[in-house]
């Protein structure tokens, strides 16, 4: 049996998986990926994402407004997110965050949206799922200000920012999630950031259908490939695949407590 691991962030509702979703889930389980969190990035699509989580054992979901869509989607409300969070398979708030790489013109709207999602995480006790790109200073400032007002849990999903944002997040008790980017040959600096982080703050994810690790780079990513990123992480920390899988799964359970309780009850 392969080590049991968790894909903490994927997008199973995306069209890339429409004709193959049962096969995707089956291959994930065969690779040792026993649990997945599928992420809704536009709240109007929440019913479809929820239906996937309800259909498949071991699949949970989260919902929010992606920062790159913040200017074109209706602004979420705290009440709306809190209401969604009542579903037993809803385990996190987001993804939300800041992305100034392509959408810097909507920075103010993104920040407003981010603050709404933070408040929902504070109200529900569910972890915040953060997307950050080319906005490190604003991201660190907003997250820290809100945390000082009322602490909350958080994962920096698909972390690929610099060491300053990594340190700011870790200092707040947040988690860094390792995606297939960490396996790219030119990602030595990113691997060094992960290697310098505490083992008990590392999660695994695919962000599938994007960012497939080698040898699948350039093709559709899927949750089964979490195992390939896990091998990179095990090598970074000098651990066996089994020990690294156990550590990151324990980290997931510590942050995503609702998913952990569901696993214990199963």
Tokens 């899927």 identify what position?
A: 222
Q: What is the pLDDT along the chain (266 residues), one digit of tens a residue?
A: 899 999 999 999 999 999 999 999 999 999 999 999 999 999 999 999 999 999 999 999 999 999 999 999 999 999 999 999 999 999 999 999 999 999 999 999 999 999 999 999 999 999 999 999 999 999 999 999 999 999 999 999 999 999 999 999 999 999 999 999 999 999 999 999 999 999 999 999 999 999 999 999 999 999 999 999 999 999 999 999 999 999 999 999 999 999 999 878 76
Maximum separation of any 2 CA atoms in the chain, in Å: 49
Give the number of other Cβ atoms within 10 Å of residue 263's Cβ. 17
Tokens 């030119």 identify what position?
A: 186
Provide the 3-class DSSP secondary structure of residue 186.
coil
Q: Domain spanning 5-265 has what CATH number? A: 3.20.20.140
Which are the contacts of 56, defined by CB distance < 8 A and separation ≥ 6? 25
- What is the model's pTM? 0.97
Q: State the SS3 of 65-86.
A: CCHHHCCCCCCCCHHHHHHHCC
Contact 120, 95 (CB under 8 A): no
Contact 77, 65 (CB under 8 A): no
End-to-end CA distance of the chain: 20
Q: What is the CA angle 92-93-98, rounded to 5?
A: 130
The first and second tokens of residue 215, run together, are 């040898």
Tokens 């944002």 identify what position?
A: 165
């Amino acid at each position: 049996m392969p080590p049991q691991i968790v894909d903490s962030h994927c997008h199973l509702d995306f069209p890339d998986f429409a004709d193959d979703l049962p096969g995707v889930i089956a291959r994930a389980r065969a690779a040792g990926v026993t649990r997945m969190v599928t992420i809704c990035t536009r709240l109007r699509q929440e019913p479809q994402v929820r239906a996937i989580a309800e259909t498949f054992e071991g699949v949970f979901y989260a919902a929010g407004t992606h920062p790159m869509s913040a200017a074109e989607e209706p602004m979420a409300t705290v009440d709306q997110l809190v209401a969604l969070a009542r579903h037993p398979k809803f385990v996190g708030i987001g993804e939300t965050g800041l992305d100034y790489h392509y959408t810097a013109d909507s920075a103010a709207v993104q920040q407003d949206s981010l603050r709404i999602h933070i408040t929902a995480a504070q109200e529900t006790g569910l972890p915040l799922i953060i997307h950050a790109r080319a906005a490190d200073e604003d991201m660190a400032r907003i997250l820290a200000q809100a945390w000082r007002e009322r602490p909350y849990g958080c994962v920096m999903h698909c972390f690929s920012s610099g060491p300053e944002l990594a340190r700011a997040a870790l200092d707040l008790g947040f988690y860094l999630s390792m995606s297939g980017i960490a396996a790219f040959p030119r990602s030595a600096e990113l691997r060094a950031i992960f290697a310098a982080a505490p083992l008990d703050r590392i999660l695994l994810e695919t962000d599938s259908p994007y960012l497939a690790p080698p040898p699948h780079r350039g093709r559709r990513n899927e949750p089964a490939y979490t195992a390939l990123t896990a091998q990179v992480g095990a090598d970074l920390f000098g651990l066996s695949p089994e020990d690294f899988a156990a550590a990151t799964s324990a980290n997931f359970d510590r942050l995503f407590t609702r998913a952990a309780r569901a696993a214990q009850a199963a």
